[in-house]
Structure 1
Amino acid sequence: MTVSEKQQEQQSNLHTRLWAIANDLRGNMEANEFKNYILGLIFYRYLSEKVEGRAESLLAEDNISYIEAWENDEYREALQEELLSQIGYFIEPKYLFSSLKKAIEEGNFDIEMLQGAVNDITESTIGQESQEDFDHLFDDMDLTSTKLGRDVKSRSKLIAKVMGNIAEIPFSHEDTEIDVLGDAYEFLISQFAANAGKKAGEFYTPQQVSKILAKLVTVGKKDLKNVYDPACGSGSLLLRVAKEAKVRKFYGQELTSTTYNLARMNMLLHDVSYQNFDIRNDDTLEHPRHIELRFDAIVANPPYSANWSADDKFLDDERFSAYGKLAPKSKADYAFIQHMIYQLDDKGTMAVVLPHGVLFRGASEGIIRKYLIEKNYLDTVIGLPSNIFFGTSIPTVILVFKKCRENSENVLFIDASSNFEKGKNQNLLRDEDVEKILLTYAERKVVDKYSYVATLKEIEQNDYNLNIPRYVDTSEEEEPIDVKKVKAEVEKLDEEIKGIDSQLELLLRQLGI
């Protein structure tokens, strides 16, 4: 069995188990709610096992267990100090996942024990450097909710069953070829997104699109000082960049509190130290939290055509003032672009997914687009297939921006809208589709009916309209029509119709009609 086949088999087994766990909760609540409990408990187990593993390492030379060491004041104080320094939190032995699992097996488990455990994690960070990264992290896992059961006993029984199933997931194994934690997280997010309607797309970007964005911003780079996403959702785009290059620090901002919690969980689930990420919960356009920083790489899939205040005060904001115009209140797409351009380092690369309207809409958006093109910031326009995002069927486009471009006299257009595999719910970008996009981008070449390198003069002649069909001709020549042949066929049909009419008239006379 190849590594790829083993990965697929292990992923399939994991996904089957995750849905079995979901079924324990499915009758009690909606998908978006039971997801919070499953992910919260997986995350709690992960944090717990990380504490156990780190404590075991710290106590290796002392030949003493974590439980025994905790009973000793001197050991306990030293352990707390080391754990807070190394991983940013600690969990008392009695609150470890393994301890609660033992209580379940012995019939002594109570849901309030789990509540104590998650409280213990948060409280351990108070006053520490890691406090903000753990604050309110488990808020979406409401263990007092009547949806889990009407009383403590019924809630305890249900959660105990879920925890028992989660305990069976092989988080680490010598034969494991997948990132079990990461895959579990991504699977549940994707399944939730597939069933949760339009808003799900705000925090989940399909993996193939994430891959394209990540590769675009890391071309020729293996070490990034930082990466930023101003609408980071679950943080999956930020983490995808780390698969392409070493990222020293991750920055993101997310408006929705629940999704903000998911992003912080996701960072820690992927073993990103609390010291190496800075995710904030606020409105990026109205209240940017990293405005003083400049970034090596920026990736984003912001909410499409979202509303924003477009207040006149922003005409004096350095992010927007040079353009002379603000994006309209009902379409914040260019406001996000302007914000990201402002925070992009001179040698950085930015890739953002947006609706096709940004290519051709006029008024203030047309003025902003013209400014970006004339400043030589726009590098590449990539048209994607329709219906590849959860909850929306509209076609989208990737825009690549750089402040200091090697190809300052032209813009690359790629029409990848016809290269996909049709799926049941969504269309899918295949590996070969992704590779074709990336190869064309890297080589910056003209491919018949697929890509075109347009000069800035050509774009100016098109009134700065970037609609891809203006530059990439995908039309097919119609076959020439043989008029004589068509005329002969029509005449033949006329004769056949006359014959049929005659036969019909004869039948009608015979019937006396």
Structure 2
Amino acid sequence: MTDITFITQTKNLIDNLKSVCANYGLGNDGNEFKIITQVFLYKFMNDKFQYEAKKVNEKLATAKNFQETLEQLSEEEFKFLIALIGPDIPQLHAEQTITHLWNKQTQDDFARLFDDTLRGISIENSEIFSVKSSGGAKDKMFDDLSQYISDSSQRDAFCKALINKLVEFSFERMFEEKYDFFATIFEYLIKDYNTDSGGKYAEYYTPHAVARIMAAIMVNEEVSGVTCYDPSAGSGTLLMNIAHAIGEKNCSIYSEDISQKSSNMLRLNLVLNNLSHSIPNIIKTNTIAEPYYLDQKFDYIVSNPPFKLDFSDFVADLSKDRFKDRFFAGIPNVPKAKKESMSIYLMFIQHIMYSLSKTGKAAIVVPTGFITAQSGIEKKIREAMISRNMLRGVVSMPSNIFASTGTNVSVLFLDNQADNEHIVLLDASKLGDTIKEGKNQRTVLSKKEEQRIIDAMNKKLPEEDFSVVISADDIKAKNYSFSAGQYFEVKIEYTDITAKEFEEKMKTFETNLSVLFNESKTLEIEIQNNLKGLRYE
């Protein structure tokens, strides 16, 4: 089975689940998102359990009927099976599999059986698969999905329809493959539910090109046993890309995000990307006001923080002593009007600088205006990056690289072991092709253009009107500007011409000027005549 075939079948499964919801009156309903993502998670956990069980148990691996053989295992054999597959793998009993439910469709009160099954899986797998809040409370992996159908007489049929869609194919054959292609599936899965326009704590997609570039620049050597953190993780695109660059088994993922929806999607993304061992590190919290990982330092930090957001509800608490070191450059003022325009991203930048380990690296998406602001918190932060020798480089991205916002963005690359004599500033604003995406325009980078950016940063390559390699002192001399354009060399080109060519050019200039002067005199006379004709009435 090829990646394309697999992706097509998986997208068909998602469409079929949406169709079931629509047929039972839940199309575009607020609960449709929960149903689709939770059923999809159940499907993946089921297939992952079967795949791992076959790897460690020869009887199950060679069985003509996996379900029958699983049901025939003794209690001791089953306990031994669970021990062998390990704690990071979903653990299901024989009566909790999709096949078992499919075989029980003629049973009365099937909806109750369906809900009880998912509830049991949630309880038994909560230690590794539940998302925690900052207070330590764990969420439920699955709701009683049948209860979203208001007509109780339709609940059995609804749950049966869901199960019938889940048995049509298996993920198992793809578990040996590299997981990068799951990004396409995951985006397709959540594209209708991840709002990107307005609203408090609205979630935004980070384009995969930006995420790939960030990961490739940050990870240019083999590492292991490292920690990766995102303080505004969303659905986890940035974390998935850096984990792939490092190697899923070589890193642990940590995240914070205020959105329960984003935290649940990140959990699913971790499962899809072979990173379920990091699910206990997903924390639903307000990173700025109630940071769960305040006392922990990280090796790699990636972030596309919200740029503008009203945080006036908790701004007073941020002046407490425990936050003083973190917000060294200050806290943005609360405007009298348009509180939603508060620059919360400045808080995230300072939080990230505070959270880096002594050898840590970070990549942060910021509005491009940040890199040239001549005063305020923005400049104080830039000054600190230079004085602390943290700045590795900056990439200014093309306009509309994010389809959902017209804000121009740049990516800051920080490194606590940066070479302050060879800082790379890069202007990629002229790259990419513009395509229409819905109502918006989006700039798309080619693979070649992505690699050009990566090479210029990693190899420290200066290129005319594209990249410069400068020192910290050069940046101080330019009033701490991080804009590549301010360091480009201005070149004046000279062209040799003959005396005759020079004379002809001068005659042409004189003729053109004479015509323009005559037109100007005519206009002056017309204006004077019009003024003389004006009368007071």
| TM-score bracket for the superposition, by shorter chain length | 0.7 to 0.9
Of the three residues 378, 402, 405, the one matched with 1:389 is 402
In structure 2, the residue matched to 1:307 is 310
2: distance between equivalents of 1:379 and 1:403? 9
Deviations 1:267-291 (A, max 9, x none): 1222224367511110111111122
In structure 1, the residue matched to 2:150 is 150
Paired amino acid for 2:270:
M
SS at match of 2:393: strand
Deviations 1:187-219 (A, max 9, x none): 2234544x7535697353221111111112212
- Gaps of at least 5 residues in structure 2 are 335-341, 496-501, 520-537
In structure 2, the residue matched to 1:288 is 291
* Larger CA deviation: 132-141 vs 204-213: 132-141
Do structure 1's residue 325 and structure 2's residue 323 form an aligned pair? no
1: distance between equivalents of 2:162 and 2:513? 72
Change (3 A) 1:11 1:156: same
Of the three residues 379, 400, 405, the one matched with 2:392 is 379
Q: How many residue pairs were aligned? A: 484
2: distance between equivalents of 1:67 and 1:336? 53
Report the aligned-residue RMSD.
4.0
Pairing of 1:52-63 with structure 2 (within 5 A)? 52-56=50-54, 60=58
Aligned-pair CA distance for 1:392 = 1.1
Change (3 A) 1:371 1:143: same
Change (3 A) 1:87 1:357: same
2: distance between equivalents of 1:374 and 1:86? 45
Change (3 A) 1:175 1:235: closer
Change (3 A) 1:202 1:243: same
* Larger CA deviation: 293-302 vs 482-491: 482-491
- Answer whether contact 1:111 1:155 (CA < 8 A) is retained: yes
2: distance between equivalents of 1:478 and 1:11? 57
Change (3 A) 1:301 1:313: closer
Change (3 A) 1:464 1:423: same
Change (3 A) 1:424 1:131: closer
- Answer whether contact 1:227 1:295 (CA < 8 A) is retained: yes
Deviations 1:294-342 (A, max 9, x none): 2221111111133334437546336736835334451122221111112
- Answer whether contact 2:70 2:94 (CA < 8 A) is retained: no
In structure 1, the residue matched to 2:188 is 187
Change (3 A) 1:320 1:314: farther
1: distance between equivalents of 2:26 and 2:70? 41
Pairing of 1:102-251 with structure 2 (within 5 A)? 102-104=103-105, 110-125=110-125, 128=127, 135-138=138-141, 142-145=145-148, 149-173=149-173, 179=179, 183-190=184-191, 192-193=193-194, 196-198=196-198, 202=203, 204-246=205-247, 247-251=250-254
2: distance between equivalents of 1:11 and 1:77? 33
Give TM-score, length-normalised by structure 1. 0.80
1: distance between equivalents of 2:173 and 2:264? 28
Paired amino acid for 1:239:
M
Paired amino acid for 2:306:
P
Change (3 A) 1:53 1:467: closer
Pairing of 1:402-417 with structure 2 (within 5 A)? 402-405=415-418, 407-417=419-429
Do structure 1's residue 442 and structure 2's residue 438 form an aligned pair? no
Aligned-pair CA distance for 1:15 = 3.5
Change (3 A) 1:279 1:269: same
Change (3 A) 1:16 1:77: closer
- Answer whether contact 1:385 1:395 (CA < 8 A) is retained: yes
Pairing of 1:354-503 with structure 2 (within 5 A)? 354-361=366-373, 362-405=375-418, 407-425=419-437, 426-472=442-488, 484-485=507-508
Paired amino acid for 2:452:
K
SS at match of 2:296: coil
SS at match of 1:366: helix
- Gaps of at least 5 residues in structure 1 are 496-513
* Larger CA deviation: 456-465 vs 425-434: 456-465
- Answer whether contact 2:243 2:251 (CA < 8 A) is retained: no
* Larger CA deviation: 253-262 vs 117-126: 117-126
In structure 1, the residue matched to 2:348 is 336
Change (3 A) 1:368 1:177: closer
Change (3 A) 1:478 1:51: farther
In structure 1, the residue matched to 2:15 is 19
- Answer whether contact 1:35 1:188 (CA < 8 A) is retained: no
1: distance between equivalents of 2:252 and 2:267? 13
Q: Percent identity?
A: 19
Of the three residues 15, 40, 43, the one matched with 1:42 is 40
Aligned-pair CA distance for 1:483 = 6.8
2: distance between equivalents of 1:338 and 1:85? 39
In structure 1, the residue matched to 2:337 is none
1: distance between equivalents of 2:182 and 2:100? 21
SS at match of 2:34: helix
- Answer whether contact 1:234 1:266 (CA < 8 A) is retained: yes
Change (3 A) 1:61 1:375: same
In structure 2, the residue matched to 1:504 is none
2: distance between equivalents of 1:475 and 1:17? 58
SS at match of 1:352: strand
